[in-house]
Amino acid sequence: MEKKSVYNLVQWVKRIEREEIVKAIKKYGNKVEDGFEIEFDNDKPIIAIYHNYMPIDAIITSVKVDKDDYVTLLGRDIDGWNESIINTEDVFAGQLEFVTDTIYSKNSN
């Protein structure tokens, strides 16, 4: 049996998640100056991220993809710190899918 690198598998999952969220934002997002953006009104996804090297749950208020397919999220700690930019590198593997699913469920009507 060949040895698998957990790190490489996690990076693979994160890459697939980024590709999927880019597709969703481009399909359903509003065109903005340098890309597409989606704002979440009532049904805001909550995901696990690292903020200042600490694991926390963050409420995502919007997500944006720029012309180079770089994804950024805007969110705040579930306990209430001010909104800040969250890079996908700070999102736990498997968590971006919750944001993607929220985009699709918001637009399934």
Q: What is the pLDDT of residues 37-55, one digit of tens each?
A: 999 998 899 999 998 888 9
Mean pLDDT of the chain: 92
Identify which has the larger pLDDT, 4 or 87: 87
Tell me: the pLDDT tens digits for 53-63?
889 999 999 99
Query: Is residue 1 over pLDDT 70?
Result: no
Query: Is residue 3 over pLDDT 90?
Result: no
Query: Is residue 83 over pLDDT 80?
Result: yes
Q: What is the pTM of this model?
A: 0.89
Average pLDDT over residues 87-93: 95
Closest CA relative to residue 65, chosen from 32, 106, 17, 107: 32
Burial class (CB in 10 A: 0-12, 13-18, 19+), 52: exposed
Average pLDDT over residues 66-79: 94
Class of domain 6-106: mainly beta
Residue type, 10: V
